[in-house]
Structure 1
Amino acid sequence: METITLRDEFIKLGQALKAAGLCESGVEAKEVIQDGLVKVNGSVDTRRGRKLYDGDVVSFDGQEIKIQK
């Protein structure tokens, strides 16, 4: 599981996918999110701008990203 450390209070879902290297561009991140391929804390979320906070876990393509402060 990869970990992303927050610099601010939150990070947006699309930015987190790019930061973890799971998507190469914002366009790719937008597409996989809108296609329902990304889960946040176990539930599909189709909002690219979804704010992720400390403790959230993102799942995509068999990989997980943990958000921490």
Structure 2
Amino acid sequence: MSWGDTLEGVHDDMEHIEISDDAITLGQLLKLQGVAGTGAEAKDMLAAEAVSVNDELETRRGAKVRPGDIVDAAGEIFTVVARED
């Protein structure tokens, strides 16, 4: 069971970001969401301990984020969902 399964329906009004693969690196996700403009900005956010995934502080740019995960990036909270083709 994923984190998202335990919170099913709780965050329906939360912003969603779609990914087409099974997972994406946190650095890529921050850029895709527009929270970080560059990889360097993403690295700085993570070094400043301004990002959490599923309420756990995350400092690794290469950490894998999957559908169902909830990301808080400097107060911008969104959930990752699988893109439906």
Q: TM-score, normalised by structure 2?
A: 0.75
Overall identity of the aligned pairs, in %:
39
CA distance in 1, matches of 2:24, 2:57: 17
Counterpart of 1:52 in structure 2 is 65
Q: Which residue of 1 aligns with 2:36?
A: 23
Alpha-carbon separation, structure 1, partners of 2:46 and 2:52:
9
**4+ runs of 1 displaced by more than 3 Å?**
none
1-structure distance, mates of 2:21, 2:31: 16
The question of 1:33 aligning with 2:46 is answered: yes
Does residue 21 of structure 2 align to residue 8 of structure 1?
yes
Q: Which ranges of structure 2 fall in alignment gaps of 5 or more residues? A: 1-13
Post-superposition Cα deviations, 1:27-49, rounded to whole Å, max 9, x if no partner, equal 00011112211010011111100
Deviation at 1:5, TM superposition (A): 1.1
Which position in structure 2 is the counterpart of 1:42?
55
Partner of 2:10: none
Larger Cα-atom Rg: 2
TM-score, normalised to structure 1's length? 0.91
